[in-house]
Structure formats: structure tokens, C-alpha cells
Amino acid sequence: MQTDSSFTFVLFGGTGDLSMRKILPALFEAHRAGGMLADSGKIVAVARHAANRDEYLQWVNEHVKPHVSKKGVDEAAWASFLTRIEFVKIDLGNPEDFTHLRDAIQDLPGIRVFYLATGPSLFVPICHALASVGLNENARIVLEKPLGYDLKSSNAINDAVGKIFAEEQIYRIDHYLGKEPVQNLLALRFGNALFEPLWRREWVESIQITIAEELGVEARGDFYDNTGALRDMVQNHLLQLLSIVAMEPPHSMDSDSVRDEKLRVLRALKPIDPNEIGKVAVRGQYHAGGIRGTPVPAYATEPGVKPDSTTETFVALKVEIENWRWAGVPFFLRTGKRLADRVAEIVVNFRAVPHSALGASALRAGANRLVIRLQPNETIRLYCLAKQPGEGMNLASVHLDLAFDQFFREGQMEAYQRLLLDVINGRLALFVRRDEQEAAWRWVEPILNDWKASNKPPKPYASGTWGPAAASAMLAQHGTCWLEEEN
């Protein structure tokens, strides 16, 4: 895709973890691919921990380069990428410093993108400071998650930012929406007539959505201990995936058609009854254990975590959607750190045949199943029953596979690369609108409140397992189990 839309990409938190691991590597990939970024486009890093441009570039060489491209660094592309980078030293606590930023960028051509890769407490002060030097015109602002801590604090941020930037200028990022397989889910659902008639309560028994990680909290103990898995993963990534799985076909792929449909799903989520939380929500915290044979410490002993912390590192939920398409179909959501495997997948369990002329084996649950694996190894796998070779009519589960990396050998794009290009080119469809975000916070709030008020600690689970047994028990009550428990 050739572009000539010039831009100035201002990166707040320029020496932070996210800039190092995701944002600068993604901009480099877009630069290296050629034609995706206008030649005149500039990246202006804002930070306090470097004295000047040379020192910043040294940091980029040392810290960002190791995170770019699995295929190795193309040195010529890397050198030309560095020429795009400028640096402005700003102490965010000192709004006067923003005049330096204005002086540095006011004559640069094209749209201005302000990416706030900082803690949410800085969002509002940065927006005010930008407005005070007139930089909120001809601009887009990107807000990283988590946006707020609950509905009230998220509304406070949105209200304050909304006074400075119009909603069409605000890009609330949820990087799961930029993942190639999530895009593919839209293609699968709305590009093929095959699944649509089956994609409803009459044919679907249950749906599972799992985002499991092997990693622990790494160096983010302090942040994570004040956040927990419900805010870090469920309120955003999991509910966004759920809304894409369950939404009605949009009228078009324009930003508001897609977001309107997702919003309808979020608003149709059955409200959580505060008296029933124990039945529909499981929270856990990892204890010491082993990941693939390597011992790992308990969450409570991780740096930055309070030793008596009751923060959850695992959540499993049963969710229902109150509309004609999905009434009565349980959606089981699950996420956790230090689990047995790193996997993100959506499992659609179709109902068994109503009557089997082929014997009991045709009534087996789980044979009619679609598994959409988002990571690793992006695949879509359709399980069905087939006759086993030989005498008699014995059925066995077989699968049809679509492995994307084998089919499309190249051209895969990392989520951040796609999303950053979308911001620069003004495409909002893959960003979360304020009303979606509010609906998601509103829905999780009773659980947040209950867990805050309750003095029951989260259920322990050993690192390297699939979480507390209560998560399995919750599915067992519905006559089903998590996918890995079947094997």
C-alpha cells in the first residue's frame, strides 16, 4: 500500500517498555516494508531519561534493535529508520516544557499523532499541556489501555480528553483488534455464507474464548498488582473478542458500522447478579510451580507485588448474551498468567445431531466444533466425525485445517504495525469507541466491586497448570469442559 500522507508521530513514554518492545519495532517494520510510511514522516520521541537525540538513538540501538524482526535486522533499513527519529526532552510534570515540543514540530508537514505510551494518570495532564501550546489541532491522540481503573475513572479521563480532542481524533488502542487472526474472524464470518446459518443458539451449544500466557508479571509487578487480570485482559481484550464472535453482520466495514454492532453485543451482556458472582466467576492467583520444567516463583514473591496481595492473575467467567441469536448459550471466557501453555483461541462447540442413525458415537459432544487459534500458529480447524476405516460404522473425530502461515507464506503483519498505520491513515474501525469502553466497564463493575469487598483470597493454582480447579467445575456444571481437558 503506497502512501504519501505525511505525519509527525510523537511518542510519549519514548524510553518505556512498550515503546521498546512494540511501538518502535512496529514503526521500523512499516519503514522497512517500504511504501507504508511517507518518506517525510517523522518520529519524535518524548522522554526525560535521555539528554539529547544522540543519547536517545544510543538507547534505541541498545534496547529496540533486539526486538525488531525475527528475520534479523536489515542494517541499511535500520540506519535509514534512525534518520526519521527526533528527540525532545520533556519533564511531563512541567507543562512549560511543551513549548519545546511545539517549537520542534510546528513546521513539520502532515497530521500529528500523539501516542501516549504512559500510565493513564498522565493522559489528562498531557492533553492539557498539548492544548496549552495549540497542538491539539490537526492531530490524533492514541491512548493505551488500561484507560482508567473502573467506570468512574475511565469516564473522568474520557470527559477530560473529550474536551480537548473530538471523538474522531481519539484512538483507544486494544492491540488484540489488530491481530491478523482477529481480522480473519471477520473474514470467516462475513465473507462466507457457510457458517452464518449455524452461528446462533439453535446450533451452537457453547463458546469458549481463552487467552492463556506462560509468562508471569515480568518487570510489571507494581503496575499489575494494582490492576489484575480482570482489568488487564477481560475488560478489554476478552470482551472485544467476544463482541466480534457474537456481533451481527455489519452493514459495511466502516468504523462506525463495525463498532455499532460490537456495542450492541456489549450492551446485551446479561448483567452480573451480585449474589451469583461465585457461580459465574472464578479468580485465581499463581503460586510457585514450573513452566516447561523450569521452576518459577509465586506471584506474591514477584518484584513490586505485595506479599499479601489478593490481586487475581487468572479469571474464568460464564457470560450470557441476552438477544435472539445467543439467548441461553454460555460463553466461557478465561485468561491467566503462568498457565500451562501460551495460547489464544476461540472454540465454537456446535450441538450434536438430534438423533443418530449411526450409533452412539455420533452423539459425542465436541465432534462438531470450530477452533479458531489466534496464537501461536494461526489456524482454523473444523472438527467433524468420519467413519473409521474397516468393518462396522465406528465414527472418529477428524479435522480440516487451514494453517495461515502455510497458505499465505508472507505478508503477515504484527498487530501494532497495523494499528499504527491505521492511526496515521485515519482509520478508526479497529479502535475502541468511548461507548464500547463504557459498556465493558459497566459490565465488569459488579465483579470488581465484589472482589474488592470480599475478604476471600483468590484461589491458588500452581504455575504451569490450567488454573484453579473451580474453573473446570464451572464448566462441568454445564456438562462441558475446557478444550484441553478433552485430550
> Shortest distance, CB of residue 344 to ligand BG6, whole angstroms?
6
Q: Check residue 17 for interaction with ligand BG6 (CB under 6 A).
A: no
> Shortest distance, CB of residue 69 to ligand BG6, whole angstroms?
17
> Shortest distance, CB of residue 259 to ligand BG6, whole angstroms?
20
Q: Are 376 and 343 in contact (CB under 8 A)?
A: yes
Q: Any known ligand binding at 91?
A: yes
The set of residues, in sequence order, having a beta carbon less than 8 Å from that of 71 and lying 6+ positions away, is: none
Q: Check residue 438 for interaction with ligand BG6 (CB under 6 A).
A: no
Is-catalytic flag, 237?
A: yes
Which strands sit side by side in the sheet containing 343-350, from one edge to the other?
395-403, 379-387, 369-375, 343-350, 204-212, 331-336, 314-319, 281-287, 459-462
Cell (9 digits) for 24: 518502535
Q: What are phi and psi of 319, to 5 degrees?
A: -125, 145
Q: Determine how many CB atoms are found less than 10 A away from the CB of residue 171.
A: 23
* Residue window 219-258: x/- pattern of binding to ligand BG6, with contact defined by CB under 6 A: -------------x--------------------------
Binders in 354-413 for ligand BG6, by CB under 6 A = none
Q: Check residue 341 for interaction with ligand BG6 (CB under 6 A).
A: no
The set of residues, in sequence order, having a beta carbon less than 8 Å from that of 144 and lying 6+ positions away, is: 18, 115, 116, 117, 118, 120, 173
Residue of 49, 128, 237, 287 marked active site: 237
Q: Any known ligand binding at 145?
A: yes
3-class SS of residue 140 = strand
Q: Which is nearer to ligand BG6, 205 or 232 (CB)?
A: 232
Q: Any known ligand binding at 175?
A: yes
H or E element in which residue 396 lies: strand 395-403
Q: Any known ligand binding at 225?
A: no
Q: Any known ligand binding at 213?
A: yes
Q: Check residue 214 for interaction with ligand BG6 (CB under 6 A).
A: no
Q: Which is nearer to ligand BG6, 129 or 343 (CB)?
A: 343
Closest-by-Cβ residue to ligand BG6 is: 232
Q: Check residue 414 for interaction with ligand BG6 (CB under 6 A).
A: no
Q: Any known ligand binding at 387?
A: no
Q: In this structure, are strands 314-319 and 42-47 parallel, antiparallel, or unpaired?
A: unpaired
Beta strands in 35-158 (DSSP E): 42-47, 85-89, 111-116, 139-143
Q: Check residue 213 for interaction with ligand BG6 (CB under 6 A).
A: yes
Q: In this structure, are strands 294-296 and 289-291 parallel, antiparallel, or unpaired?
A: antiparallel
Residue numbers annotated as active site? 237
- Chain residues in the site for ligand BG6 (CB under 6 A): 213, 232, 344
Give the annotated binding-site residues for NADP(+).
48, 91-92, 145
Residue positions in the annotated binding site for substrate? 175, 179, 213, 232, 337
